[in-house]
Structure 1
Amino acid sequence: MIVRAVRAVRAVRAVRAVRAVRGCSQGGFATAELAAAFPAIILLLLTGLFAVSAVATQTRCADAAREAALAAARGEDGSEAATRHLPPTAQLAIDATGDTVSAKVTAEIRPLGSLLPTMTVIGRATAAREDREAP
């Protein structure tokens, strides 16, 4: 058993000696693997940034729709109240039917600039009309 262990150690030493003479080493493999994975890492990062941007724009649309619906329900100008929250290139539509007022804000966002098609984000809100009569 000891003889086998000694032979195994000698074999490993012989392989290492041959690799040392030939110049074989594993130096640079980590760099090559990182270089191969780099495009995937960048794509993942850009996708994450776009997702955060889309969620932020959707939140702004929902806030603007809520402000517009509440202002219109009070009898004020809903578009003026919503301008503070409106994202750029957003469109506001207010619909007052019956006892409710609905507001819809639509905005288009472009993932990665003009490389990909636009994506539409919508925010909606509804509010009950408030009576203007004083008791």
Structure 2
Amino acid sequence: MSRPGDRGSVTAELAVALPVLVTLLLAGLTAVNAVATKLRCVDAAREAARAEARGEPGAAAGQRAAPGGAVVSVVRDGDLVRATVRTMVRPLGGRLPGVPVEAYAVAAYEPDQAP
């Protein structure tokens, strides 16, 4: 049997715990989304660096593989090509500040592969 002073305590505990649980769930979903976006950025940077190293337009190749809204930049420095992909992961559909995600890849320039 419950004591008279305990009546309604489960409701109060649930009212306190539920917002915390929802916040943790949203944080977990945002983390999963950030990791998935990071992997897509890594793939896009790799594609961009590879394409530019072969003499093809690397930024276009990277943009095809990048997540929507990402910025792809490719820089050739001597015998190396460096591609960078940057984007933001916006939790709750953009209602909260974004989490920046960046990936880069480096490839050796292949002069014999130019079209």
**Alignment pair present for 1:45 and 2:48:** no
5+ residue gaps, structure 1: 1-15
Q: What is the SS of the residue equivalent to 2:105? A: strand
Shift of 1:30: 3.1
Shift of 1:26: 5.0
Residue matched to 2:47: 67
Output the CA distance in 1 between the equivalents of 2:19 and 2:71. Answer: 36
- Measured on the aligned residues, the alpha-carbon RMSD in Å equals 2.3
5+ residue gaps, structure 2: none
State which drifts further: 52-61 or 111-120: 111-120
Q: What is the SS of the residue equivalent to 2:97? A: coil
Residue matched to 1:29: 9
Distance 1:82 1:114, change over 3 A: closer
Residue matched to 1:13: none
% identical equivalent positions: 48
Amino acid aligned to 1:58: K
Residue matched to 1:4: none
TM-score by length of 2: 0.84
Output the CA distance in 2 between the equivalents of 1:117 and 1:26. Answer: 41
Output the CA distance in 1 between the equivalents of 2:22 and 2:103. Answer: 30
Residue matched to 1:12: none
- Look at both structures and tell me which one has the larger radius of gyration over its CA atoms: 1
Output the CA distance in 2 between the equivalents of 1:81 and 1:91. Answer: 12
1:110 to 80, 90, 95: 90
**Alignment pair present for 1:125 and 2:105:** yes
Q: What is the SS of the residue equivalent to 1:132? A: helix
Q: What is the SS of the residue equivalent to 2:25? A: helix
Q: What is the SS of the residue equivalent to 1:46? A: helix
